[in-house]
Structure 1
């Protein structure tokens, strides 16, 4: 066999083998299957609204479906612990003020480490907290509500989605700032809480604008103040907490995407880039604006810095308010 013929045969065999051997350059493109986006809270709250808006836009560009999976329980700890152990490269989770900035200081021990077990992907959106009362409560604004609470110490109640939830923190923050006392009744999610609030079994609450704006517009709830730094375009006649005697007061919920620490960095980079693009799309901005939510879409580094900042802030609130698990 001459040399040229031998080279020809070896070249053909090499080409055939190249199709079988998984060289790095021929690795399967990511994502290879639908992405599971876990929400650690019950359906019906701001978390689900943000997650579904993000998932819908992300699916358009990343090449796979992104489906939302609600896994409530234990102030978000159950879902966080599960996703921390996920190694399928296709599971991410919605992180928020409670699971990332409050639980580390509220629980003596956590089944996850918010820093070591996860990689920040992007801050998705911020949602102003609204302070609302049932229409039966004779308070038209925050000043009247505070006067009413002070006149009936311990006899009024407010609900939240659970201990350490954004609504719990928002009301405790107001209580500390205004020097009032009102009994906290925790629920297992915003949905169950809203049922009792709309029925009048709860007198007050602080809830993300996305989840209750429709109930305010129909008169089923009365908004007495917004936690935003400026009045909301959707509620131009409702003054902020700061305007009603508490300068500098601001309370905003926030939601971001996290991936398990086991996710490959190349996959994180692609997911982060596509998520930023999704949250800055006009469709996402318009969709969230309908619910008074602000789309963000920043980088992993920016989100990591934001989480650290929020942890410093809420550690003080948790310790001063002595917030404990249910």
Structure 2
């Protein structure tokens, strides 16, 4: 019979050897990436190109799974129950860092996720139907002042970056807007095209509709004007002092082997550098925004702090 100490030592060695073997053989089956938005939108379309690129590099299929709703936070939440083996990953949009301030959750986005890579950032804007009497952003605010609560705007969901930023805009401009949440931007854009809402704040899923003359772009939210839509002023230009780009990336369940994280990071970095991914981002007026695993984790920690301050200022935190 083995002495207890020797048995424990051999057990630890066997566990370590198994973990090393799993990392060395990774990946040996399909990888699933969950995204928090509906098919066909400005998140889904680039991710499918990215997945094709990554599959060629990793030698295994990379499958996109859509989990829309709840402001895009469902994939990150599902990581709390996923195996930390590198085969189930999640896109993390900015609303994930608001969760613990606006609802009661039993996990922390900074402490309970492993950060793999930062990928890109959204371009945001406000659109109205092309035949709307509202011609520009100043006209939008003037209408809201003259008609408190009557100006409706759609977003891909409550507590999304679009919702929170529109409430910041309303607060700074001293107007009252009415928010109409949808499950994703494909729904919200169809709603504004169909005139079920008067406006939509969204990522550039609106770009094809603006180019086709169905929607009018009133403003974008970057630090500078959009290269594709240079006639639309920024909120910063309009004196509102708001700049919003909302970087996003990929995470794994907490406890994933660092060697697996490194393998994923290296493959994904190659995938995002391919011309077809850059081109599909450009189609939606988005830019690559690479962050290493360490930089992305540090950014997440700082973002959680800054989001807390914003939400407290708007009175949107859980009491």
Contact persistence 1:279–1:296 (CA under 8 A): no
Aligned to 2:233: 239
In the alignment, is residue 117 of structure 1 matched against residue 143 of structure 2?
A: no
In the alignment, is residue 105 of structure 1 matched against residue 98 of structure 2?
A: no
Contact persistence 2:114–2:253 (CA under 8 A): yes
Contact persistence 2:38–2:66 (CA under 8 A): yes
The 3 A distance-change label for structure 1 pair 111 and 194 is farther
Q: Distance in 1 between matches of 2:155 and 2:206?
A: 13
The 3 A distance-change label for structure 1 pair 144 and 301 is same
Aligned to 1:91: 88
Unaligned stretches of 5+ residues in structure 1 = 1-20
Q: Deviations over 1:86-136 (max 9, x none)?
A: 11430100001011x2212111x2253212221111111011111111234
Q: Distance in 1 between matches of 2:299 and 2:50?
A: 19
Partner-residue secondary structure (3-state), 1:229: coil
Aligned to 2:126: 131
Contact persistence 2:153–2:177 (CA under 8 A): yes
Aligned to 2:315: 322
Alpha carbon RMSD of aligned pairs, Å? 2.2
Counterpart among 280, 299, 303 of residue 306 in structure 1: 299
Aligned to 1:203: 198
Deviation, structure 1 residue 28? 5.3
Which segment is superposed worse, 46-55 or 200-209? 46-55
Partner-residue secondary structure (3-state), 1:158: strand
Partner-residue secondary structure (3-state), 2:150: coil
Query: TM-score, normalized by length of structure 1?
Result: 0.85
Structure 1: 4+ residue segments shifted above 6 A:
none
Q: Distance in 1 between matches of 2:32 and 2:156?
A: 23
Q: Distance in 2 between matches of 1:114 and 1:228?
A: 25
Which segment is superposed worse, 121-130 or 80-89? 80-89
Q: Deviations over 1:132-173 (max 9, x none)?
A: 112343222111111111111111111111111122122112
Matches for 1:163-202 after TM superposition, within 5 Å: 163-202=158-197
The 3 A distance-change label for structure 1 pair 78 and 129 is closer
Q: Distance in 2 between matches of 1:181 and 1:119?
A: 39
Matches for 1:139-158 after TM superposition, within 5 Å: 139-158=134-153
Aligned to 2:287: 294
Which segment is superposed worse, 306-315 or 214-223? 306-315
Deviation, structure 1 residue 311? 1.8
Q: Distance in 2 between matches of 1:96 and 1:148?
A: 31
Contact persistence 2:73–2:92 (CA under 8 A): no
Partner-residue secondary structure (3-state), 1:252: coil
Q: Distance in 1 between matches of 2:49 and 2:22?
A: 33
Which segment is superposed worse, 162-171 or 312-321? 312-321
Q: Distance in 2 between matches of 1:163 and 1:184?
A: 8
In the alignment, is residue 223 of structure 1 matched against residue 217 of structure 2?
A: yes
The 3 A distance-change label for structure 1 pair 119 and 299 is same
Q: Distance in 1 between matches of 2:244 and 2:19?
A: 51
The 3 A distance-change label for structure 1 pair 163 and 38 is same
Q: Distance in 2 between matches of 1:288 and 1:162?
A: 22
Aligned to 1:55: 51
Partner-residue secondary structure (3-state), 2:63: strand
Aligned to 1:35: 31
Q: How many equivalent residue pairs?
A: 301
Q: Deviations over 1:276-310 (max 9, x none)?
A: 22212323212211211101222011111222222
